[in-house]
Amino acid sequence: MGQTGLCKCAETPMEEPTPAIQNLMASAPPGKTETEPKTVGDFQRQVSGVPFPQDEFQRQVSNTMDLCTRPVGEACTTTYRLKFQDTSGTMISPWHDIPLATSEVGVFRILVEIPKMSRSKFEVSTKEEGNPIAQDVKKGKLREYHGPIFWNYGMFPQTWEDPEHEHPDLKVKGDNDPLDVVEIGSEALECGAIVKVKVLGVLAMIDDGELDWKVIAIRVNDSKAHELNDINDVEEKCPGTVSGIREWLRWYKTPDSKPLNTFGYDERALDRTQAMIVIAETHEAWKRLRQGKTGENKLWMTAMDGKTVNDKALVS
């Protein structure tokens, strides 16, 4: 997490966002050039010598790669992996190479790990080469929830909860994983799907002394998306959803004799703006991790050398 932190009280007026956060919140990508570059070289020539936001760089360079998934190993065993690659077979990391930001305000990409109404605990393997999706293993057994999760669950690419950074209000450090998302749309999305979501709010979950933010969002193409723009809309139009998510997350580990999870900010779901700040801060933390300025080297970090995946290849 960066230095901005969250206000102690949701009603407190927000401070001016940092330039990086303004960049994520901008309605149009800044620094747009007159002619669209066709190659990475063209792009670099156009912007050389011009201060240029990293996200815009990633957006434009993204016109260089396609994306497909490839299952490897045997389904329902510890050998199964869902790998990501381009059409030439070059490995893509779904954590590092999928662009987080879109050109729309408050709309970001997520990677679905666990489909709605399923139980298998699939997740991006942060330590394995290429960061494939694998089913979590505990004491040699594939990990299953004790009951289904009622929403799609996944992560934001290009984010990281820094285990060295103590949150100024909550006094806990990050969980060393990408930022999590709960997608509340009506459809069950596939494991490995990359979709655009509208951010609605965030819960500050604390799991065993670690900060584990849960962003609440809805797929932009969901039939309900046009009705939901902030956390209050969720409370009003989908009553019981926020408390349902909170209680599910509070209790889900207790059948394994683990304590209840807790939540900061008096257990409230914070609003869309504060969720966007969490996304921006965890994106900044990921950038520092990529630059080798922080973090442990056990995480698999090598990726596509600044390239990101083609927008057109990303289904929403």
Active-site residues: which are they?
145
| C-beta closer to Mg ion: residue 153 or 265 | 153
Measured from the CB of residue 125, what is the shortest distance to Mg ion in angstroms? Answer: 14
Residues 94, 131: contact at Cβ < 8 Å? Answer: yes
54-61 and 40-47 helices, crossing angle to 10°: 150
d(CA 74, CA 81): 8
Residue 139: burial class (beta carbons within 10 Å; 0-12, 13-18, 19+): exposed
Measured from the CB of residue 180, what is the shortest distance to Mg ion in angstroms? Answer: 4
DSSP structure string for 67-96: -EEEEES-TTSTT-EEEEE-TT--EE-TTT
**List of residues contacting Mg ion (CB under 5 A):** 175, 177, 180, 212
| C-beta closer to Mg ion: residue 54 or 126 | 126
| C-beta closer to Mg ion: residue 60 or 125 | 125
Token duo for residue 134: 């694998």
| C-beta closer to Mg ion: residue 162 or 175 | 175
Measured from the CB of residue 155, what is the shortest distance to Mg ion in angstroms? Answer: 8
d(CA 21, CA 200): 17
Residues 227, 237: contact at Cβ < 8 Å? Answer: yes
Measured from the CB of residue 178, what is the shortest distance to Mg ion in angstroms? Answer: 7
Helix (H) or strand (E) holding 51: none
| C-beta closer to Mg ion: residue 43 or 151 | 151
Token duo for residue 280: 């921006």
Measured from the CB of residue 212, what is the shortest distance to Mg ion in angstroms? Answer: 4
- Selection from 308, 256, 312, 301 nearest residue 125 by Cα: 301
